[in-house]
Chains A and B, each alone.
Chain A
Amino acid sequence: ASGPIKLKMVTFLPKGDINMTAWMAFMKDVNEKAKGELEIVFTGGPEAIPGFKQFEALRNGVVDIIFGCESYYGRQVSGAAYTHLTRLDPIKERENGYYDFRVKLLKKHNIYYLGRAEFGPWFQIFTNKPVKRPQELAGQKIRVSATYEAFVRKLGAVPVTLPGSDIYTALERGTIDGYAWSVLGNVQAGWCDVCHYIIEPRIYQMNIEALVNLKTWQRLPSHLRKLMTDCMIANERKYSQVMVEISEKEFLEMQERGMKLIKFSPEDSRWYVNLAYEAGWEDVIKQNPKLGTKLRKLLSP
């Protein structure tokens, strides 16, 4: 008798990163329920396959399954990364047809879309220059990645591109005024020691997906495919909540470490959040008008 089917898995974050909480739980769940039949094997993080090349590794069958950040391959799939712009939870995405749409989209790349590997954490802007109204952010130098560039530009702020490893020194020395980032990871990177304010309104959604090589997926017996799908859906339900709790804890810890919250009036907050999505979608639609328009409709409440 042959042993269990082994799925080689890589992740764009190193083992032990807080963002992988939900994903690790999913892996454990599958490995327990499919004991003897199927095993997801953690083969490594970015030290084994560089993050930006994991999508290709999956396409080519070097690995079978990845925990991947959509900003790393979104442009390749749909002309622009967009999944951070969703305003639905993963279960709604499954119900309203978006999930099937995404499956079809990724199929063209020899990849099967299993689901939202992580959902819950949001993004924020952090700055060293306090403001009273969002409009005052204009002119501030904000370090961005492609995810927030359009928004920061719309705010009238100056988007600065710097490697992530330079953020600490750039903040400490004032080369940049602030940066945009996920709510998770700021404590770990030490940035909350050199950055003093959090702009309160939360924008966007962590854009991480569980992807499987299409051939691997098709070769799996149907009961194992169902098992993995069920585990993924259960995980999306349960861990979206858990990840939000983890994020809230981190959000509090940043404040305990001395970062102060900048709150806007309700109208200003609405304007700010609105602008974030407006700018994000505008950029996506500019890259790919047909798909962008459709996606915007699908992912808005």
Chain B
Amino acid sequence: MEWWLALLLLLGVMVVLMMSGMPVAVSFLLVDLLGAFLFLGGKAGVVQLVLNMMESLTSFSLLPVPLFVLMGEVMFHSQLGFKAIDVMDHWIGKIPGRLALLAILGGATFSTMSGSTLATTAILGSMLVPDMQKRGYHKSMSIGPVMGSGGLSMLIPPSALAILLAALNQVSVGGLLIAGILPGCLIAFFYAAYVVIRCLLQPHLAPSFEVPNLSFGEKLRATLIHVVPLGLIIFLVIGLIFLGIATPSEAAALGALGTIFLAAAYGKMGWETLKKSIMGTVRVTSMMFMIIVGSMTFSQIMAFSGASAGLIQLVTGLDLPPMMVLISMQVILLFLGCFMDNLSMVMIAIPIFLPIVNALHFNTLWFSLIMLINMEMANTTPPFGLLLFVMKGVAPKGTTMGDIYKAGVPFLLCDATAMVLVMIFPQIALFLPGLMK
């Protein structure tokens, strides 16, 4: 079968299934069955599908996902996080949309401790979103900022994906990590500017609320009790990595354990709370991992059938000027990112893109960073994006996928703006790595 026919068939069936309200994971699996039968070769192909399913999850680098979700769940059910946010809120002045800003600030801060986008979003989401809704924040001002700033953790080091991308693109790992700092800050700044301007124009989106005026001493006391210990957990996570005691995946385990002990120290960790947290984590993890199973195996079938390669070659084979090639590569990635997880997407694209990038003498570090921003966006571009689903998992009942898509759009535009700026001014990416030499 021709690759384009294969592509249309697989994507067409999947879009119909997903739109019919079939669980995303099962839609993927049905298309996988179809694809395995057609392209991997009948029954042996379906057997291969099962083997691939097993392989897609047995990867230690996925371990931080449930563990960071657990951290968030424990903070959520034991109410550890809320108090801390209340306290931080006392310190923040009366800025329009301050909880949204808090999310961005918190997201950027948490990004410096988390290499997992999913985990960052999950923890921010379960900590902040319910509180925002309680305060009457509109969904666009609660879900949006959290999802946006969750994605920052892919750019701001540490970042598991940056390390992986650097290895795939054959650029310096340290270089790519450092290169992400400025663009990450730029994006955070855009997010913040957007939130402030939008809330000035439409104050009802983020109703300001009275926070009892506390004296400086009271604020300090509240901070010592409710915020500083949280900082200790965070320190436990980075500190252990920094001191070389644990790897990022292991630090996630110790961080989760630390959170449970801290909640216990506050007297908030009953059997009920632990039970709820564990079950909540199992629920979110199962939901996300079943999608990962479906989408990773889907990507494998796309790759095997030649559909992915064909699509990419078609667009890159048009003999366009270099900048147009770069742009079309990013457009392809954006398109692929709508439907699949960002890791599979780059796994398919890099073997075809990289030779072209080298032939055109692009700076690979710069190219990798643009790709990283694209990967961040793929997490929130509808209809399929892991962050969208994480958000759905932690958002309050009654939040529809439509709400989540809409909330994400302005932040995607911020990302896109940053991506264009990095394309026009490569120094945004290359300045800091240049200092390393």
Residues of chain A touching chain B, judged by Cβ–Cβ distance below 8 Å, are 14-16, 43-45, 47-50, 52-53, 56-57, 60-62, 162-163, 165-166, 168-170, 172-175, 188-190, 193-194
Contacts and interface: CB of A to CB of B under 8 A. Distances in A.
B60 interface: yes
Given A53-B54, A60-B48, A169-B248, 10 more contacts: A16-B355, A43-B306, A47-B299, A47-B348, A49-B304, A56-B47, A61-B41, A162-B60, A166-B249, A170-B244
Contact of B300 (A15, A50, A175, A193): A50
Contact of B247 (A44, A45, A170, A189): A170
27 contacts: A47-B300, A48-B304, A49-B304, A50-B51, A53-B52, A53-B54, A56-B48, A57-B51, A61-B44, A62-B41, A62-B47, A163-B59, A165-B160, A165-B163, A165-B167, A166-B247, A166-B248, A168-B163, A173-B241, A173-B242, A173-B243, A173-B244, A173-B247, A175-B244, A175-B245, A189-B167, A190-B172
Contacts of B350: 14
A120 to B, nearest CB: 21
A57 B40 CA distance: 9
The binding surface of chain B is classed by DSSP as: helix
B246 interface: yes
A52 B51 CA distance: 9
The binding surface of chain A is classed by DSSP as: loop
Given A14-B351, A165-B164, A173-B244, A53 B174 contact: no
B173 interface: yes
Interface of B: 40-41, 44-45, 47-48, 51-52, 54-56, 59-61, 158, 160, 163-164, 166-168, 170, 172-174, 241-249, 299-300, 303-304, 306, 344, 347-348, 350-351, 354-355
A62 B40 contact: yes
B436 to A, nearest CB: 10
A45 B160 CA distance: 22
A77 B119 CA distance: 40
B170 A193 contact: no
Contacts of A50: 51-52, 55-56, 300
A272 B336 CA distance: 50
A115 B167 CA distance: 29
Nearest to A51: B55
B47 A169 contact: no
B59 A60 contact: no
A95 B245 CA distance: 51
B246 A175 contact: yes
Contacts of B158: 169
A300 to B, nearest CB: 35
Nearest to B343: A47
B347 A47 contact: yes
Given A43-B304, A47-B303, A48-B304, A62 B245 contact: no
A169 B243 CA distance: 11
A73 B306 CA distance: 26
B7 to A, nearest CB: 15
Contacts of A173: 241-244, 247
Nearest to A61: B44
Which residue, of A14, A50, A61, A174, has the highest number of chain B Cβ atoms within 10 A? Answer: A50
Contact of A193 (B174, B246, B299, B306): B174
Contacts of A169: 158, 163, 241, 247-248
A47 B48 contact: no
B160 to A, nearest CB: 7
Contacts of B166: 190
A190 B304 contact: no
Contacts of B351: 14-16, 45, 47
B60 A163 contact: yes
Contacts of A188: 167, 170
Nearest to B59: A163
A162 B247 CA distance: 9
Which residue, of A53, A56, A169, A175, has the highest number of chain B Cβ atoms within 10 A? Answer: A169
Given A62-B45, A162-B247, A166-B249, A47 B56 contact: no
Which residue, of B41, B167, B347, has the highest number of chain A Cβ atoms within 10 A? Answer: B167
Nearest to B56: A50
B51 A44 contact: no
A45 B168 CA distance: 13
